[in-house]
Structure formats: C-alpha cells, structure tokens
C-alpha cells in the first residue's frame, strides 16, 4: 500500500513581484484565495511567505498571523508552514512569527551561495530558530540546499534540537547552489533513508522551470511534492 502523496503548495516564493507576473498574489486576501484553490485541488501543506504592499518580502508577524488565520478558516485541516527563510529579514527577525505556533516552519541549517549573495545561516541563528520551534511546538521542514545540510539535520536531531524525525526538503536549481542533477537527487533520497529510516518523509522543490522535473522525480521516488 503506498502512502498518499502530500502536495505542498508555495504560492509565492519570496522573489517574484507583481511587476514580474501580475498573477502573483500579494495581499493576504489574494494569498488565501490562491491557497484555497490549491487546497481544493488537493494540496495538503501551504508554504507561506508574506509581503509588503510593494511586493517586497516581509517577515512581519502580524501579516503571518492574518495569513495563518485565513488559511485555517478557508482550508480546514491544511498544514500551515511559515517561512523563516533569509530573504524576508535578517537575524532573529526571521523567526518572529514562530510564537504563532504554525504547524510547520522552514528551517535552513547551513549556509550556501545564492545567485548574487551568500545565504547566511550562522550556527547560532540556526540553533536559536530550532529552539523557538521546540518552544512553540513547530515542526521544522529542513531546507537542504546542499548535501551537508542533511547531515547537519541528523546531528541536530541527535542532539535533541529538532522535534521528531527531520522532514527534509531538497532544493535544487538555485544558481550557485545545488543544480538539478538526477544522481544527486537519488543520493539525497538514499541519504535521507540511511540517516532517518526508510519511512522518513521528504519532499523536493525545483526553482522556476525546474519545478516540473523535481515533481516528476519526487512522485516516482516516493517523496512529497512542492508545486
């Protein structure tokens, strides 16, 4: 018997703005509407960023609270995952919404390059974010931008820094980080099974045009999907 495939919807990354694509939902009402459509279509997890009025990334806890409430009202049972990613703020600001006790939050456990800069996740910030997630009962989704991040999650789990079995998301196709490569993808899956057990869930996200490829690979290999 195969498990049902969990679909995780990230309706807005933190980068696209209305000027790039007029269909990108910006306001909380637009986001809730878009997430609701995905929920009706079967998505189980909503991966959420919030934005300022001009479309720039925000980490305002009030915006996150409104979005979380909208999803809970309109999409009962949907898992709310709030982003603590670095595009929306610096340092501990990134975790300011964790007291809202969302079901999940993203957690980057290492650093890597992004297209034009360093994606900085210093060890003390990672530990602090993980601690906040423990305090508020938030399940982390480990964002693996590189292979060592999966091992780092293992070390953190062994040290009691993460609640339960780590849920790892492979992120591929970001320029200057890990490219979309089938052998690496297979090694990622193998590594998750080796470190966390054959039943450990995982998901995969491809950036931009790579999303379809990663969805196909993940669906065939028993992972969850990010759309």
Q: Which residues of the shown chain bind a second copy in the complex (CB under 8 A)?
A: 110-113, 115-124, 126, 145-148, 151-152, 155, 176-179, 181, 183-184, 187, 191, 194
Query: 92, 130 in Cβ contact below 8 A?
Result: no
d(CA 120, CA 122): 6
Residue 83 interaction partner, one of Zn ion, a second copy, none, beta carbon < 5-8 Å per kind: Zn ion
d(CA 3, CA 184): 24
The site for Zn ion (CB under 5 A) is made up of: 8, 83, 169, 203, 226
Closer residue to a second copy in complex, CB, 136/151: 151
Residue 226 interaction partner, one of a second copy, Zn ion, none, beta carbon < 5-8 Å per kind: Zn ion
Residue 152 interaction partner, one of Zn ion, a second copy, none, beta carbon < 5-8 Å per kind: a second copy
Q: What is the CA radius of gyration of the chain?
A: 16
Angle between helices 182-196 and 211-221 (to 10 degrees): 40
Q: What is the DSSP letter of 174?
A: -
Q: How far is the CB of 141 from Zn ion (least distance, A)?
A: 6
Closer residue to a second copy in complex, CB, 29/118: 118
Query: 48, 31 in Cβ contact below 8 A?
Result: yes
Q: How far is the CB of 31 from Zn ion (least distance, A)?
A: 13
Tell me how far apart the terminal alpha carbons of the chain are, to the nearest angstrom. Answer: 24
Question: Which residue sits closest to Zn ion, CB atoms considered?
Answer: 8
d(CA 136, CA 142): 17
Residue 203 interaction partner, one of a second copy, Zn ion, none, beta carbon < 5-8 Å per kind: Zn ion
Q: How far is the CB of 190 from a second copy (least distance, A)?
A: 8
How many Cα atoms occupy the beta-carbon half-sphere of 16 within 13 Å?
Answer: 14
Residue 84: which of 33, 44, 167, 142 has the closest Cα? Answer: 142
Closer residue to Zn ion in complex, CB, 66/207: 207
> Looking up tokens 């982003």, which residue turns up?
83
Task: Return the bridge partners of 156, or none.
Answer: none
Closer residue to a second copy in complex, CB, 61/86: 86
Closer residue to a second copy in complex, CB, 62/194: 194
Q: How far is the CB of 179 from a second copy (least distance, A)?
A: 5
Residue 176 interaction partner, one of a second copy, Zn ion, none, beta carbon < 5-8 Å per kind: a second copy
Q: How far is the CB of 188 from a second copy (least distance, A)?
A: 9
Residue 120 interaction partner, one of a second copy, Zn ion, none, beta carbon < 5-8 Å per kind: a second copy
Task: Return the bridge partners of 113, or none.
Answer: 118
């Amino acid at each position: 018997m195969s498990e049902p495939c969990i679909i995780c919807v990230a309706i807005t990354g933190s980068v696209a703005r209305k000027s790039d694509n007029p269909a990108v939902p910006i306001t909380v009402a637009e986001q809730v509407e878009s997430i609701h459509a995905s929920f009706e279509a079967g998505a189980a997890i909503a991966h959420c960023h919030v934005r300022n009025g001009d479309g720039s990334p925000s980490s305002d806890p009030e915006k996150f609270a409104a979005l979380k409430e909208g999803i809970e009202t309109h999409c009962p049972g949907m898992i709310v995952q709030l982003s603590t990613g670095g595009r929306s703020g610096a340092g501990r600001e990134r975790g300011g919404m964790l007291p809202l006790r969302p079901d999940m939050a993203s957690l980057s456990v290492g650093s890597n390059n992004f297209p034009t800069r360093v994606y900085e996740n210093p060890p003390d910030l990672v530990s602090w974010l993980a601690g906040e997630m423990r305090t508020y009962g938030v399940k982390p989704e480990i964002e693996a931008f590189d292979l060592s991040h999966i091992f780092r999650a293992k070390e953190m789990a062994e040290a009691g820094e993460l609640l339960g079995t780590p849920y790892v998301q492979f992120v591929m196709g970001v320029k200057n980080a890990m490219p979309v490569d089938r052998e690496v993808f297979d090694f990622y899956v193998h590594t998750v099974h080796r470190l966390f057990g054959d039943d450990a869930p995982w998901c995969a996200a491809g950036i931009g045009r790579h999303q379809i490829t990663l969805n196909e690979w993940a669906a065939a290999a028993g992972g969850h999907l990010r759309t």
